[in-house]
Amino acid sequence: MPNTKRPIVPLAYSAQPLLVAIAEYDRTAAERNAKWDNASCTLDIFAAEDADRDALIKVQEAFYEVTKDRNRREDCHRIDIDAMRRLAEWAVKNQEPELVAPGA
């Protein structure tokens, strides 16, 4: 008889730092987009690129902290924001019940 229950996978580390980093990334998106919209010279473009890179690195570092039992930091810096969002969603859905925050 096949097992049809959703697997519960305990994480070695809480996904909370990743969730917080993604929320911060989203919160600062308008400011970063404005840098692109208002870029009028090469230095403005560099500033917009730096802002995007810095915001993404914060999320990648949080991803590393959550998965450092199985991932290397340099590998985490190759992962895009969409993949990290999917992991965060998966982690919330599949963590052990006693680890789920009330209202999550």
Q: Angle 25-31-35 (CA atoms, 0-180°, nearest 5)?
A: 120
| Nearest by Cα to 19 from 65, 80, 72 | 65
Hey, what are 45's tokens? 């473009």
What is the value of pTM for the model shown?
0.77
Is residue 11 classed as helix, strand or coil in its secondary structure?
A: coil
List of residues 6+ apart from 20 with CB closer than 8 A: 62
Predicted pLDDT of residue 90: 87
CA distance 102 to 2: 31
Condensed to tens digits (0 to 9), the pLDDT of residues 21-37 reads: 999 999 999 999 999 99
Condensed to tens digits (0 to 9), the pLDDT of residues 32-68 reads: 999 999 999 999 999 999 999 999 999 999 999 988 8
